[in-house]
Chains A and B, each alone.
Chain A
Amino acid sequence: MTRTGFVIANLFRRRTRTILTLLSVIMAFLLFGLLQSVNSIFSSGADFVGATRLFVQARVSFTTSLPVSMVPKLEAIPGVARVAYQQWFGGVWQTNTPLIMFTLDPQRYHDVYPEWVMPDAQWQAFAHTRTGLIVGRQLAKQYGWKIGQKIPISSNIWPQKNGSKAWQFDLVGIFDGKDEDWQKRTNLAFIQSDYFDEANQFGIKGRTNFFILKLAPGANAEAISKTVDAMFENSPDETKTQTEKEFNMSFVKQIGDIGLIVRWILFAVFFTLLLVVGNTMAQSVRERIPELAVLKTLGFSDGSVLGFVLAEAFALVLCGGLVGMVLASLAGAMVEKGTGGQFLLSLTGWVWSLGIVAIVLMSLAVGLLPALRARRLKIVDALAGR
């Protein structure tokens, strides 16, 4: 019998116990996979953007608008290559599905965000169609929108000149992201700020929530942020400038410390699991003390007896862990499909690697004490049942 076979045979000497323990491990890792991927939705928001763009907002809050007339001043700062701006539209699809929708200058936005991939003809069409609308691939897929359609969207903030909040736009382009991270964020919609300025009832013209500065290669982001903020200090349009990454992070932080909640739950889950599997392992070693003594009598070293017990713990946690993570992947993919890609719960490589680390640590934690006990066994005492 090979050593591997021996370990497996030992695992199944108490079949019910092994299966029940496996099921507990599976549940723990199913939860681990799902919660970690919820957590990564919220925390990874910042990981994928470089520090090459700066977000300029009103210091008091990004809901207070700034005048677009600041653009030339911003562009004159050395190190700033291009400036785009965008304003929240408060778009609502049908009765109450909010859309992440901004008004912007198409050409400037295109220059600052090369990460969005769309045929040139569609960028042109967007720049030249007053009522033009472009949307991300996910959003188009979710609602079955096709280029050329007229899309009715209302705004919960801005009525048109005639007092109606029901706007209508021509879908002229559908953009995608350059890689997986950006593709996941194609739930956005953009319209022309020129058209918005003309058509809104309040006569709001040339206002925006954000300026986005694209920096020249090698420019010092920190220094430029300070220059911008100093430039508008003591005016009604005081600014606060952060990197895109910082902005995304502080935005997520506003929802609350999701990571903290997830950590608390996982702590409870794994603490329990430690006890469950640890108890199983301790029990199975206790029951087998005479057998282990026989192994040692046959010439197996202390080290290999320790190895057997550790391998058993590892096999148990690994099988359960992998099955749990696979189940989490399936469940995540189902949620993602069921919500039309609104909730991106499928497990990323990052979550999988966290899972593997958890499996290794867990097997050591539950296996080490029983394994050490097995190693320390004195043959004479063990055989005598002392």
Chain B
Amino acid sequence: MLRQALAITGISIRSVPERWAPSLVIVVGLAGVVAVFTALLAMAAGFESTLKATGRSDAVVILRGGSDAELNSAFDRESTDIIKQEPGIRPDADGKPLASAELMVIAELVRREDVRSGANITLRGVEPAAFVLRPHLTIIKGRNFTPGLRELIVGRGVLAQFQGADIGQTVRMRGSEWHVVGEFDSGDSHNSEMWTDINVARSTFGRSGSSSVLAALDGRDGLARLKSAVAADPRLSLDVLVERDYFSSQTRQFRRTIGVLASVVTVIMGLGAIFAALNSMYAAVAARGKEIATLRALGFGGLPVVVSVMIEALLLALAGAVLGALIAYVLFNNLSVSTLGQNFTQVVFSFKVTPELVVRGLVIAVVIGMVGGFLPALRAARLPVTVSLREQ
């Protein structure tokens, strides 16, 4: 049985070049489905990996209660100082709490390929502790800003996507000029930000306090101690969020939107590809009617015929899927784009064609190939031998 199936499959595969047009329909149809599926989900994967890389599990972001995002949160100077003194925050080498009060405001920059319309960019005013709390952030060009001066360092992602903030250029904000003195790379969502000294940001933007406080936790029970202290303090109404969870939770909306889009598009395109595959395989079976009938007359069974047609459909579908994944990889992998994030500012990220996505694409192709091959395979096996042999 197996040998029969292999023999027939060998014959049919070798005859594919003679029937290249209908075979190509299956390959291209599947390539289309898999390329679109992979590219869309590669976008979601890239966004997710950028935000998930942000934040550590032993630090917390402290926001005003119920504000959801840093943009909506604000503390006055006094609350900022109180927060830093709460228990559960790890002391630094000098015994002071390792915490950075940060002021987030929004500035506008114009996209590289655009002329006028501005996009929202996070400008983060930070204290020196911010760099200790994010050790993976390094200045890759130029130098760090000097506290007290209107100087900016700009994330790699911002420089890739937006104009007017290259090293040596000046950015105008609120009637004053800011010099860009350095470029940094943090490998995460901070790459979409511009950083400066918090006090300079405060005076320029007329704000006295901060938007959030980032603090290192002191030991395993740090979070619990901090949370209970904050809850017991009548002066404060705060949300204390583990930094990593805060950033991960921001991917939910985007993931869902892209997920819905990808499934709707894949299902509809997949149905189209199934119909096309059915068409092609019926044509293939019809073209080989005489040959199949001859084999049957020689004593080959019906099942090997079914198997051979299915295998042909599967192989063509898989070839299409590989082609599709390759197209998605070549065109989109590491392509840098940006969209509005939770803070109403641009998050720069790159498409990521992951092995997992490619495997999922192959699975889709196998399913479509199976469905598209099955009915034609049945027809091939059921063709009455005498009728087929007589056909012109």
Chain A residues engaging chain B, CB cutoff 8 angstroms: 16-17, 20-21, 23-24, 27-28, 30-31, 34-35, 58-61, 63-64, 90, 96, 154, 156-157, 163, 165, 202, 233-238, 240, 242, 246, 249-250, 253-257, 261, 264-265, 268-269, 271-273, 275-276, 279-280, 282-283
Contacts and interface: CB of A to CB of B under 8 A. Distances in A.
B174 A157 contact: no
Given A16-B282, A27-B268, A272-B276, A61 B105 contact: yes
B237 interface: yes
A64 B106 contact: yes
Given A157-B72, A234-B175, A256-B337, A269 B67 contact: no
Contacts of A157: 67, 72
Given A60-B107, A249-B117, A276 B25 contact: yes
B349 to A, nearest CB: 11
Contacts of A31: 265, 268-269, 272
Contacts of B339: 254-256
A59 B120 contact: no
Nearest to A21: B279
Contact of A64 (B36, B205, B279): B205
A238 B174 contact: yes
Interface string B4-48: 000000000000000001101100110010011001100000000
B21 A238 contact: no
B108 interface: yes
B28 A272 contact: yes
Given A27-B271, A253-B114, A265 B265 contact: yes
Contacts of B340: 254-256
Given A27-B272, A60-B107, A61-B118, 17 more contacts: A20-B275, A21-B275, A23-B271, A60-B173, A60-B174, A64-B105, A156-B66, A156-B72, A157-B67, A236-B174, A253-B117, A254-B340, A265-B36, A272-B29, A276-B29, A276-B272, A283-B22
A64 B271 CA distance: 49
A283 B283 contact: yes
28 contacts: A17-B283, A20-B276, A24-B275, A27-B269, A28-B272, A31-B265, A60-B105, A60-B107, A61-B105, A64-B174, A156-B67, A234-B175, A235-B175, A250-B117, A254-B119, A254-B346, A255-B339, A256-B340, A265-B265, A268-B269, A271-B28, A272-B32, A272-B272, A275-B29, A279-B24, A279-B25, A283-B21, A283-B283
The residue in A96, A233, A242, A272 that gathers the most chain B C-beta atoms within 10 A of its C-beta is A272
A154 B111 CA distance: 35
B206 A63 contact: no
The residue in A20, A235, A249 that gathers the most chain B C-beta atoms within 10 A of its C-beta is A20
Contacts of A21: 275, 279
Interface in B353-367: none
B28 A253 contact: no
B133 interface: no
Nearest to A251: B117
Interface of B: 21-22, 24-25, 28-29, 32, 35-36, 39-40, 65-69, 71-72, 74, 105-108, 111, 114, 116-120, 172-175, 204-206, 237, 264-265, 268-269, 271-273, 275-276, 278-280, 282-283, 337-340, 344, 346
Contacts of A59: 108, 172-174
The residue in B22, B32, B172, B346 that gathers the most chain A C-beta atoms within 10 A of its C-beta is B32
The residue in A246, A276, A282 that gathers the most chain B C-beta atoms within 10 A of its C-beta is A276
A20 B278 contact: yes
A268 B69 CA distance: 38
B353 to A, nearest CB: 15
Contact of B269 (A60, A90, A235, A269): A269
Nearest to B30: A272
Given A27-B268, A30-B268, A253 B21 contact: no
B282 A63 contact: no
Question: Chain A interface secondary structure, helix, strand, loop or mixed?
Answer: helix
A242 B110 CA distance: 14
Contacts of A240: 108, 118
A272 B274 CA distance: 12
Contact of A269 (B24, B206, B272, B282): B272
B279 A24 contact: yes
Given A63-B120, A254-B119, A280 B108 contact: no
B35 A268 contact: yes
A194 to B, nearest CB: 23
Given A156-B68, A246-B116, A276-B25, A236 B32 contact: no
Contacts of A163: 237
The residue in A20, A23, A268, A269 that gathers the most chain B C-beta atoms within 10 A of its C-beta is A268
Contacts of B265: 31, 35, 265
A65 to B, nearest CB: 10
B108 A60 contact: yes
Contacts of B173: 59-60
Nearest to B282: A16
A273 B344 CA distance: 39
A20 B26 CA distance: 13
B336 to A, nearest CB: 12
A64 B107 CA distance: 9
A59 to B, nearest CB: 7
Nearest to B332: A264
B276 A63 contact: no
Contacts of B279: 16-17, 20-21, 24, 276, 280
A59 B280 CA distance: 59
Contacts of A253: 111, 114, 117, 119
A152 to B, nearest CB: 14
